[in-house]
Amino acid sequence: MSTGKILVVDDDPQIRRVMKATLVAHGYEVVEARTGEDAMEMISAEPPNLVLLDMNLPGMGGLETCQAIRAGSDIPVVILSVRNSEKDKVAALDAGADDYVTKPFGIEELLARIRATMRRSPASPEGGPSGYTTAGLEMDFAARRVRVRGADVRLTPKEFELLRYLVLHAGKPVTHREVLQAVWGPDYGDEPEYLRVFVNQLRKKIEVNPARPKFIVTEPWVGYRFVGE
């Protein structure tokens, strides 16, 4: 039984062949696209569960493709790139990527990143709350629904998981490492740039004034704290 369908987007046919053989061997269904334009057509026709997207593509580049995917879909996207600078990672995350893997990478690392990106925590912990409401913000954990000042707001899966974690620890400072390991997985913890980008994205969606947030506040040198009523 397939553990999910992955769209591999890369203009190098040899890389696509190797990726497909490896992923199929680990239980995934794999479809391929050579360009960003091809990828968008395939996503529109039959959305996959995850996209592995090369940064350097002919025509529509990787970042542009990621932005186009994110404009109309919440499909998890993992960027693959030879570039390893924080600037490049932040640019990819800003474009809507859920994760960023630097080439060359080991297959076990890639598989772990795929599992982490596709992983969703249970809708509600055993005996825990089914939702949360405070002034101007409502969350339904089971339906994965968020309303801000009465209007539905679309969050990506990782944005939802991050907000949910902060809400469940409302009033308490949580460290960067704690949040990264809870939301992305135990192999994470040293990627503070991920949180900076995702918190900024959340603030733009839920705060009246993202520059002066009232819900998600920064705890200097520690992490973040969610402030409710």
Beta-carbon contacts of residue 17 (< 8 Å; ≥ 6 apart): none
- Structural domains of the chain, with CATH: 5-118 (3.40.50.2300), 131-226 (1.10.10.10)
Task: Give me the mean pLDDT over the 122-144 stretch.
Answer: 78
Beta-carbon contacts of residue 67 (< 8 Å; ≥ 6 apart): 95, 96
Task: Give me the mean pLDDT over the 174-190 stretch.
Answer: 93
% pLDDT > 70, the chain: 95
Round the average pLDDT of the chain to a whole number and report it. 92
For residue 159, pLDDT beyond 70: yes
Task: Give me the mean pLDDT over the 157-163 stretch.
Answer: 93
Q: What pTM did the predictor assign?
A: 0.86
CA 168 to chain centre: 19
Separation CA 55–CA 79 (nearest Å):
6
Residues 195-213: tens digit of each pLDDT: 999 999 999 999 999 999 9
CB 36 within 8 A of CB 66: no
CB 215 within 8 A of CB 206: yes
Separation CA 73–CA 52 (nearest Å):
15
By DSSP bridging, strand 223-226 and strand 174-175 are antiparallel
Residue 124: the pLDDT is 47
